Every structure is written in C-alpha cells, then in structure tokens.
Amino acid sequence: MTFTVSIARQHGYCGGVTRALRLAQEALDAHRDNGVTVVSVGQLIHNESALASFARAGLKSIDRVEDAPAGAVVILRAHGTPQRKRDILAAKGCIAVDTTCPALTQAHKVVDASETGNTTVVLFGDADHEECIALKDGRPNILAGTNPEAMARAIAGATPPVAVVSQSSKPPVEFDEFVQALRNHSDMELEVHSTICAPVRSRQKELERLLHSGIDRMIVVGGKRSSNSHGLGRLAERRVPTLYLQRPEQIEAGWIHSGDHVGLIGGTSTPLSVLQDFRRYLEGLGGVIADDGGIHNGDSGEKPGLGTKK
C-alpha cells in the first residue's frame, strides 16, 4: 500500500506551554537536593508524554491546592489559578510558581473589569475546564457554556452591554458561530472581545490550508484533555474522516487506503517528537511524505532536557 502524507507547518509547543515547562524544570532543578517537595496542581499541560517525563524527574501531582504539603513548592498550571486558591497556598507557607499563560491576560482583564462595572460576562468555553474555572473564580456574573440558546436565556434581563469572551483554546470559527447564534437568540447588546490566543488561530489556519490541499483523511494528535487539539479534530471532522490520537499505534488497521492523501497536525501542547514518531510510523505503513512541514529541523520551541534529570 502506498499513500501520501502532508504534515502541518505549524507544530510543537506554543510559547505558553514552553514557558510552563521551563518554569517547572527550573523549580525541580532548584530544589532537587534541598529536601523541599515540588508538586503541581492537576495537569501542568494537557499532554501525557510530557507529564510522564516530569513524573519520572520527581514532580509529584496533587488534585487540589488543599492537598499541598506545608512549605512545598507548588507549580500552578498554565491554565490559570483562582486567587482564593493562591491564598490557601500562602496560608500554608508554600512557594507558588505561576506558569499561567500570558495569552490569558485579556480575558482576565475583561472579567476583572466586570466586577467593578456590574457587567455580565458570557464565557464561551467548557465550564469544567481549568481555564474557565479560574476565570469564573466563583463570580456569579460570569456565565460559562457553549450552548448559545442556553446563554441567551441566562442573560435575559441583564444590564447591557453583555461582554462576550472565549476560552483561549477554542477554535476561532466556533467562537464566531457562537456569537452569531447568540445574536440570533437574544436582542441584548453584546460587547465581543477577542481572547483566543494567536497560536490557536495559527493552527486553525494551517488546518484549513491542509484541508484545501486535497486531504482525504486527517490525523490530529493531542492530549486527552487538550481543548485546542480537540477543536482541530472537530473542525477536520466537518470535512474529512478524522482520527484524534495520542500515539501512532492507535491508527486503526485499514483506516488508510492505498492512494489516500493523509494530513497530520498536532495541538499546541503536542511535542514535536510525537509528530516525528507519527511520521516514522506512517512511513512504515507505506506513506510517502509530500510535505513534512519542516518537522525534521523545525523549531518547536522545545528545549532538550525538559522534564528529565540532569
């Protein structure tokens, strides 16, 4: 069997993920020999292979800030952490290492301003996602969800204008569709803010390029909880048969046919090394690389040694 493979030209970690991993590595290195416990609250990033590397290097994971040992170094994940949880850590004498992605700044500004301006905020996002939890932080005026009809009912009677922001990792096209549907179901004046990060926008544009190049099938590589990767998968599924995977061995036997043109793209928390594994695996199945996207010598933003003992 012979088929063609084209790989996205945007790949590897985004700047926010690279920063989070660097800060975590620096914390591990600084406290490796002084007996101080280093823990992260939840998943530092949504990528299983990167998290496994840090676990092997000694980074422990806890589910809640309340579980942090007194005096520990606590790495706060890139998705953001509510202030009340930071206060709990301070009371326990913990040292917080804040890896919150700078791309979340705009959404936090809108949310913070809403408290003083008595403004209702509609947050387009998954209510149980860490980023949305941090943005809401118990504020009753922040309404999170992805159903425009439900949001229209929720803002009925609110004082206009209603601010609308997006979870930073949502596909821009889905946000645009949500805003339009919200306008269709509500007469409320909406103040729409652009809060989707630039790397997510770039990945969507690259996905569109691949889809317009004659791709027959798409493989999207991302972590199980990676919002931006899942978004790429949903957009690809609108056009071609799509697999959402973590490892190349998960490619279903017989899914690729002789003569197919297969596209390959990863999310912003997918390591370049994983895409390289997929390339090698696809070549082993009979894939001929028409466009490797530059992954052989591409700049992923990754640094050697992240999550490894020195």
Domain spans in the chain, listed from the N-terminal domain onward:
3-13+198-291, 15-102, 103-192
Residue 148: enclosing H or E segment and its boundaries? helix 148-154
The model's pTM: 0.86
CB 199 within 8 A of CB 232: no
Is there a common fold for 3-13+198-291 and 103-192? yes
**CATH level 3 topology of 103-192:** Cobalt-precorrin-4 Transmethylase; domain 1 (3.40.1010)
What does the pLDDT look like over 139-149, one tens digit per residue?
899 999 999 99
**CATH level 3 topology of 15-102:** Rossmann fold (3.40.50)
Closest to 228 measured CA to CA, from 129, 156, 100: 129
Residues 6+ apart with CB under 8 A from 240: 211, 215, 216, 217, 218, 263
Which architecture characterizes domain 3-13+198-291 according to CATH? 3-Layer(aba) Sandwich (3.40)
Residues 6+ apart with CB under 8 A from 291: 6, 7, 9
Closest to 209 measured CA to CA, from 294, 289, 301, 293: 293
What does the pLDDT look like over 148-187, one tens digit per residue?
999 999 999 899 999 999 999 999 999 999 999 999 999 9
What does the pLDDT look like over 108-134, one tens digit per residue?
999 988 987 789 999 999 999 889 998
